[in-house]
Structure 1
């Protein structure tokens, strides 16, 4: 992906052609082996880093002028610090194994025209003092760029890089997630999980995608697609494989005969009604030591309007007893408040969002002060309550 991006982007290709050693890590442009001077008047080598703005596999420079630097504080040839370009001095984890010690902020009168202009300007500021002490030294090493890291995405995640949360996002990169049930909530879960760098996303559902599904799920299928009545797993794999390479469809319902399909996953979202099979699934996950989230929705039409409760119940190796003490149902359907089958897209999306937020809390992406394992949202009072905290 790195070489394709470089070859398709005029500014990046120009950097390579002129001998600059660049790499692409996530949505970061690295210009390596840039000479500079430290406080002891020694010539050292550092790395310039810039977030990338992309349009597919082509750079789309957005006018930003901030860069990062991994090295010591850059100095003039006499050892005095170059304060003019240093905006802040603090260790920053940019994700994808990239760290920086300083943030640069220097903007020419008319701004930078592209990434070539930006990176070569910063490189010249850093390397000019080094050339005074060591004539002929510069950042043009004529090293051939490598292919860079392999990604689970078909195009680079520039959102995490722009937000400065690349390191947090990478906490999810080792996950292998399973979604059991691709109804309204399950399909919205897929939409959210597919935007994370998890290694694989296993989809389990034996049903077909019909017209009523289209009105309580993300995206917008065409009437031609609906006429084909595709299997849900195949339809959703086709949609999200455009973005994520790790979608694995299984057109089966989990049963006693295929519980082994859950072996190897690291997290599971359960989006099916209660029943004996749910008990078997949970027993299997507990035996495997796998964390999971079970979701439920119960809506009732009363006096001309809908009301009800959404539920998100988590189970981790450190806290499981509540699962077997009535927080979820193992009967033929959800108890009482969850008994109806009314579903609407907005509440399915909210239920999925609450579940994904909890998953990310468990994995350290979000701050988790209460460490709740059971959360309920009541529609009529707009009330969100937590319980089973640890």
Structure 2
């Protein structure tokens, strides 16, 4: 992946053709073998790292920041003084799972607000360090013409995740990379769960649902379902699996409902998002996974009609952990109720599905440690009438 991004972008290709050792790793442009002098006047080789801003996989944008990160000792002048003009921040500064910078440098070209290209940015900082190193060793050069292979060819995504690098969350993404996720039910809520989970670097996402994609599903699904897709009578898992496979790898459709025959497959997952509206399926899953290590994140929506013919919706998220499952049967009905019929009839409630899914994904991410979690709740319910989320039961 690294070499293809470089080859497709002239501003990066020019740097590589001039001899720079370039790599694109986890959304960062990494430039190796930058000569500099340390405090003892010794010539060393450092590494520049900067978030790679891409408009698309084939178009590089201008750098969003003039700051650049550096792996190495602090650079000095040939007279022994620190290069104070670039001093900005000292580390360690974790950037990704495999990149930790020692320093961040800040230095803009005179009379500008920043850099118009990565070509200019890399050369600007290179000259500052290289000029001092050449004063001590005339033959030292950053232009080695060495090609650096990508170190993360098994990325979960079909193209580079530059958003995480740009906003400094790449290192946190390591929380997800080994996780295997199952989503049971690809109705309105389950499809929105997939939409959010697909944008994280989890190892695998498995989809369980036997139902076909039908016209009423289109009014609750993320994105826009085409008439052709409805006419084709795809199953939900095949449709959404194919749709999101354009974005990421390792999405596995299972065109089956969860039954007594296959429910034990769910024991192999780290997290199971339960987005079903059938009480008997819910009961089966909780009974069979009761002694497992699986974390279950259960979603649910209720809709009632007021006397004024308005709707009141509730979106519930319940988390069930090993050793913390007793609250489930107090908070979740294991039977199909009358209000479910109204929920099915009220098609214009995609926002309820979406917010139910996002609350579930937030619960997962807070439990993982991606987001700080002070509430530590096991159950949360949002009511549209008051626009409030009420938490109940807490982790010890």
Shared topology, TM-score over 0.5? yes
Indicate the larger mover: 108-117 or 36-45.
108-117
* CA–CA distance in structure 2, aligned partners of residues 337 and 389 of structure 1: 28
Query: Residue 59 of structure 1: CA displacement?
Result: 4.0
SS of residue in 2 equivalent to 1:276: helix
Change (3 A) 1:59 1:89: farther
* CA–CA distance in structure 1, aligned partners of residues 220 and 61 of structure 2: 38
**Following superposition of structure 1 onto structure 2, how do residues 335-374 of structure 1 map, counting pairs within 5 Å?**
340-342=342-344, 344-374=349-379
- Asked if the contact 1:152–1:197 (Cα under 8 Å) also holds between the matched residues in 2, the reply is yes
- 1:159 equivalenced with 2:160 (yes/no): no
* CA–CA distance in structure 1, aligned partners of residues 247 and 233 of structure 2: 23
SS of residue in 2 equivalent to 1:129: helix
Query: Which residue does 2:21 correspond to in 1?
Result: 21
* CA–CA distance in structure 1, aligned partners of residues 2 and 286 of structure 2: 42
- Asked if the contact 1:53–1:62 (Cα under 8 Å) also holds between the matched residues in 2, the reply is yes
| Aligned partner of 1:383 among 381, 388, 392 | 388
Indicate the larger mover: 222-231 or 292-301.
222-231
* CA–CA distance in structure 1, aligned partners of residues 40 and 310 of structure 2: 74
Query: Which residue does 1:86 correspond to in 2?
Result: 87
Query: Residue 304 of structure 1: CA displacement?
Result: 1.5
Query: Residue 200 of structure 1: CA displacement?
Result: 1.0
Measured against aligned partners, the alpha-carbon deviations of 1:68-100 in whole angstroms (never above 9, x if no partner) come to 111122111122111211222232211141111
Query: Which residue does 1:69 correspond to in 2?
Result: 70
- Asked if the contact 1:56–1:155 (Cα under 8 Å) also holds between the matched residues in 2, the reply is no
Query: Residue 382 of structure 1: CA displacement?
Result: 1.1
SS of residue in 1 equivalent to 2:386: coil
SS of residue in 1 equivalent to 2:46: strand
- 1:7 equivalenced with 2:7 (yes/no): yes
* CA–CA distance in structure 2, aligned partners of residues 320 and 101 of structure 1: 45
TM-score normalised by the chain length of structure 2: 0.93
SS of residue in 1 equivalent to 2:159: coil
* CA–CA distance in structure 2, aligned partners of residues 229 and 301 of structure 1: 32
- Asked if the contact 1:52–1:59 (Cα under 8 Å) also holds between the matched residues in 2, the reply is no
Query: Residue 379 of structure 1: CA displacement?
Result: 1.1
| Aligned partner of 1:240 among 240, 244, 249 | 244
Measured against aligned partners, the alpha-carbon deviations of 1:304-342 in whole angstroms (never above 9, x if no partner) come to 110032110001225222124x121223x25x7767434
Change (3 A) 1:192 1:176: same
Change (3 A) 1:330 1:124: same
Query: Which residue does 1:273 correspond to in 2?
Result: 277
* CA–CA distance in structure 2, aligned partners of residues 312 and 339 of structure 1: 20
Change (3 A) 1:287 1:318: closer
Query: Residue 138 of structure 1: CA displacement?
Result: 1.8
- Asked if the contact 1:298–1:339 (Cα under 8 Å) also holds between the matched residues in 2, the reply is no
| Aligned partner of 1:313 among 309, 318, 329 | 318
SS of residue in 2 equivalent to 1:89: strand
* CA–CA distance in structure 1, aligned partners of residues 295 and 175 of structure 2: 16
Change (3 A) 1:212 1:337: closer
- Asked if the contact 2:62–2:118 (Cα under 8 Å) also holds between the matched residues in 1, the reply is no
Measured against aligned partners, the alpha-carbon deviations of 1:99-147 in whole angstroms (never above 9, x if no partner) come to 1121112121344342122112211211221222222112122212203
Query: Which residue does 2:107 correspond to in 1?
Result: 106
**Following superposition of structure 1 onto structure 2, how do residues 210-289 of structure 1 map, counting pairs within 5 Å?**
210-289=214-293
- Asked if the contact 1:293–1:313 (Cα under 8 Å) also holds between the matched residues in 2, the reply is yes
- Where structure 1 has 5 or more consecutive residues not aligned to the other structure, the ranges are none
Query: Residue 174 of structure 1: CA displacement?
Result: 1.3
Query: Which residue does 1:140 correspond to in 2?
Result: 143
* CA–CA distance in structure 2, aligned partners of residues 53 and 365 of structure 1: 23
* CA–CA distance in structure 1, aligned partners of residues 281 and 218 of structure 2: 27
- Asked if the contact 1:308–1:337 (Cα under 8 Å) also holds between the matched residues in 2, the reply is no
* CA–CA distance in structure 1, aligned partners of residues 47 and 320 of structure 2: 43
* CA–CA distance in structure 1, aligned partners of residues 135 and 290 of structure 2: 65
Change (3 A) 1:318 1:136: farther
RMSD: 1.7
Query: Which residue does 2:208 correspond to in 1?
Result: 204
TM-score normalised by the chain length of structure 1: 0.94
What is the aligned residue count?
387
Query: Residue 300 of structure 1: CA displacement?
Result: 0.9
